[in-house]
Structure 1
């Protein structure tokens, strides 16, 4: 049985991870909404308040994201690259906090949390060059046929995660 990683530090010690925005209670579906507390699966202690959405709120959020995607896609590639560079910079400077939060929120063993965080940073580093690359390429096809593969900006990034703790049985 693998042992869950419980960080030695309080989750609030690493509040710098979310210092630029007060993420407590944040759920955005066109307007900011409040939400109930989130508890550590390891200790049962309060971690913070994280937005939880109903089906209707997810639908509204998706419609808002769709509208905003068009604005994002119209921006120049330099702005897209700058957003990826900033995300990479934040991930690198807050790596230790991210590892600790993964331990608190999902009971990840430290090694797994470090691996996941490092892979995320590598992926972000790789994405910084994507906006300035070609938007498509010619791909192999049948003689006499021209096949093109295209790439387009996706835009708004969001997270939808299930709360599987409701399905767990308690002793």
Structure 2
């Protein structure tokens, strides 16, 4: 099934159009652009993304991405959102070819009943929790993103963790 996904960067220009739209959005809000650049640098510093060549690979998926800015947020002011439902030249998305498992999460009502029976409750917001899960290197081409460097040239990155 993975072989059927094709190439999203060179098969169509959706990833490039998305990047251009994002840059237009940033031109109207310099703070948003600055924070997004800082976040991309953080991803790179933490090895959550690595630069890769712009060469054409037979199987390559560039999920569209954008960022949401919430200036009033206490914890995380900027979040990057990846669109796994964007289709490749084959008409398939990464969501279409992923193996899905049954939902193992308990029902919210069960959680609320369990909480009420406890004497103490600890809660936390685990920052970057999912980005701690590494993706096998063989699958990195299925998680590429297009961005710009300091000279405004297009750069391709592999996402190396779960997003």
The interval holding the TM-score normalised by the smaller chain is 0.3 to 0.5
Higher relative contact order (CA 8 A, sep 6+): 2
* Structure with the higher fraction of residues in helix conformation: 1
Instruction: Select the structure of larger CA radius of gyration.
Output: 1
